[in-house]
């Protein structure tokens, strides 16, 4: 199945069907392994089977003498979306193998994989592009879901490729761009999570909702949540109160509210799904802890700013009758002290660790 069928004298129809089956197997192997935080079973170098051709199903029959030339991906064949998904999955597999084998990847190597990923993305036709300006009302529910599925693979690949920049950017300004790419991809994934949940309540029959709710807790969303959580942690650790101008670009200080809101939304989805999924239950506990700590840090920052303003007004000879705002109470289950974060986070690889 994994070999080039043309080397074995197979009929064109049989060879094309084998390519389609093998493409599905490869995609499932990579995506399922990623979900389970395990390396892929099939190595990229072990296969010589080509990608299927973009052909309509009625163009294929058992007695055909040769395959017609492939149609451009802009033509909406039955196999078009699967071809693009296979290509994106293969890029994700390469990136996962790369980050697992390199403890300290060079910027040149990262750029090479990023360029390869971008080349695949550029082949996505406009009708399947998640950033398409086409009105969503004119696209069918199937096309809308295909757009999200393809962009999820793309954004997850970017998030994994640039994940180490979250910690390295604290010491190396050259990592700032990669850190920004990682956070942008993570925020896009969390936006897709919200979109899928809204579609779940409006577009699917009730008997289908339980099955589709598991898409809300898949590993790419968990990876995105951890990226945003770690970015917030490092930001509060570096500049807990008032950042200097250089730290705004370094830690995304101006995006903290946006990131915390995205984490709160992801936490709510996990809460709703926790009775149906052990993964969601464990992710809910972790995200709830992070959100509580981030909100507590914000309250402490606001209190510090108010006290600073009051002191400045008093020094200038102006009386201030404004009460200093006290931090809202935090759940005793999560409140373990007055510090912003209880020490450094454990040194673990959040991409390959499963929430269970």
Q: What is the pLDDT of residues 45-65, one digit of tens each?
A: 888 888 999 999 999 999 899
R_g over Cα of the chain? 24
Residue 284 is assigned to a structural domain of this protein: yes
State the pLDDT at residue 312. Answer: 60
Q: How many CB atoms are located within 10 Å of the residue 25 CB?
A: 17
Residue 126 is assigned to a structural domain of this protein: no
CA distances from 153 to 39, 157, 269, 329 (A): 17, 6, 20, 39
Interval 325-348: pLDDT, tens: 444 444 443 344 334 344 444 443
Domain count, the chain: 1
Looking from the CA of 6 toward its CB, the CA atoms found within 13 Å total 5
Answer yes or no: are the C-beta atoms of 13 and 61 closer than 8 Å: yes
Residue 203 structural domain: 179-356
Residue 86 is assigned to a structural domain of this protein: no
Residue 76 is assigned to a structural domain of this protein: no
Residue 43 is assigned to a structural domain of this protein: no
Residue 190 is assigned to a structural domain of this protein: yes
Listed in sequence order, the DSSP H helices in the chain are 12-35, 80-101, 107-122, 141-161, 165-168, 176-203, 206-212, 219-238, 245-251, 256-273, 278-315
In this prediction, what percent of the chain has a pLDDT beyond 90?
Answer: 32
**Helix axes of 107-122 and 141-161: crossing angle, nearest 10 degrees:** 170
Q: How far apart are the C-alpha atoms of 272 and 286, rounded to whole Å? A: 15
Residue 324 is assigned to a structural domain of this protein: yes
Residue 335 is assigned to a structural domain of this protein: yes
**Residue 17 burial class via C-beta count within 10 angstroms: exposed 0-12, middle 13-18, buried 19 and up:** middle
| 242 vs 309, higher pLDDT | 309
pTM of structure: 0.80
The two tokens of residue 44 are: 């990229």
């Amino acid at each position: 199945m994994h070999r080039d069928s043309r080397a074995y004298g197979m009929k064109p129809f049989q060879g094309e069907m084998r390519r389609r089956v093998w493409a599905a197997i490869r995609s499932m192997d990579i995506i399922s392994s990623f979900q389970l935080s395990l390396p892929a079973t099939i190595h990229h170098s072990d296969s010589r089977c080509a990608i299927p051709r973009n052909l309509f199903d009625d163009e294929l029959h058992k007695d055909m003498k040769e395959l017609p030339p492939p149609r451009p991906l802009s033509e909406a064949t039955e196999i078009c979306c699967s071809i693009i998904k296979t290509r994106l999955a293969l890029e994700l597999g390469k990136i996962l193998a790369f980050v697992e084998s390199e403890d300290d990847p060079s910027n040149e190597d990262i750029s090479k994989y990023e360029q390869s990923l971008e080349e695949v993305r550029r082949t996505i036709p406009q009708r399947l592009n998640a950033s398409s300006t086409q009105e969503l009302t004119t696209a069918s529910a199937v096309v809308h879901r295909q757009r999200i599925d393809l962009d999820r693979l793309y954004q997850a690949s970017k998030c994994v490729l640039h994940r180490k920049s979250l910690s390295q950017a604290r010491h190396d300004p050259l990592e700032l761009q990669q850190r920004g790419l990682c956070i942008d991809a993570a925020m896009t994934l969390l936006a897709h999570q919200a979109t899928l949940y809204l579609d779940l309540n409006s577009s699917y029959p009730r008997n289908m909702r339980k099955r589709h709710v598991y898409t809300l807790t898949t590993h790419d969303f968990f990876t995105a949540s951890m990226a945003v959580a770690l970015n917030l942690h490092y930001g509060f650790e570096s500049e807990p109160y008032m950042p200097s101008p250089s730290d705004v670009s370094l830690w995304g200080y101006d995006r903290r509210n946006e990131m915390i809101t995205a984490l709160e939304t992801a936490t709510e989805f996990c809460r709703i799904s926790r009775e149906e999924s052990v993964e969601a239950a464990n992710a809910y506990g972790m995200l709830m802890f992070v959100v509580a700590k981030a909100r507590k840090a914000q309250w402490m920052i606001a209190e510090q700013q108010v006290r600073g303003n009051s002191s400045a007004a008093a020094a200038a000879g102006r009386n201030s009758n404004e009460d200093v705002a006290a931090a809202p109470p935090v759940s005793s289950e999560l409140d373990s002290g007055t510090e912003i974060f209880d020490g450094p986070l454990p040194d673990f690889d959040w991409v390959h660790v499963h929430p269970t």
